[in-house]
Amino acid sequence: MTANQKRDLPMPMQFCDASLRAQSFDKSTNTIEVIWTTGATVTKRGRDGYYDEELIVSANAVRLARLNAGASFLDTHRDGSVSSIIGSVIPGSARIADGRGLAKIALSPAPSDADTVLKIKEGVIRNISVGYAIHRVEIVERDGAMPIYSVVDWEPFELSAVAVPADPGAQVRGVRSSGASETSLVPCRAMVLTHDSMEWRRINVRAIRRQMMDNLRRAMPPHERLANPGDVSGHDFGTC
């Protein structure tokens, strides 16, 4: 039996897609609720090629301190100027519930932000993206398939309104939507799991189950497909 291998694997800041809930806008408080993750599994590209990244969404896996300290709600990840701040996370509102990351955003009342904020209120702007750092990942290498990077310790640090959901390949390179340069690397502890370990079996079975459900949905007529794939068998296979 070969022991699981541990190694340091510096990772760039990551970005993934999430969603606004326009119907949740509260006019009296100028706030809106967001779903900032549903536990995505997306294909990304790293230094060694493509891989499937699976975000684990649980109280033990997600560090919420930075969001709950009042993290910024930005325009398209532009963090070089305070003029790009169009709101902030209400302290204490970020939480994990039913396999999803939720938070409440206080929108900016400033006249200079009025156009963007109005589009959010009316549901014209629906897409948001969460910026996060990865601290620990479990890697499952599979014969004839892309490896799985199961992210078991990660930290969201900002939310952004975006025009178009970002391409996963660009996210893994750390290129922001504003065209900023490569982001700095974050220390990350990686564990490469062996085929005979319980962790490898657990993650691999989860990937196979998810692939089966995706194939089932694609085989269904469009009008019968579930709007949220997380409705299937009580498992959350949604996108982040």
Query: Which pLDDT tens digits describe the chain residue by residue (240 residues)?
Result: 344 454 444 454 555 555 555 567 888 899 998 888 887 678 888 777 888 888 898 999 999 999 999 999 998 877 777 888 999 999 999 999 988 888 999 999 999 999 999 998 888 888 888 888 889 888 888 888 888 888 999 999 888 888 766 534 323 222 333 444 344 544 445 556 555 555 556 665 666 566 666 666 666 665 554 444 443 333 333 334
Is residue 120 within 8 Å of residue 31, measured between CB atoms?
no
Cα distances from 81 to residues 69, 86, 156, 176, in angstroms, run 19, 11, 20, 14
Q: Are 102 and 94 in contact (CB under 8 A)?
A: yes
Residue by residue, DSSP assigns 42-65 as: EEEEETTEEEEEEE--STTTB--H
Instruction: Specify the pTM.
Output: 0.64
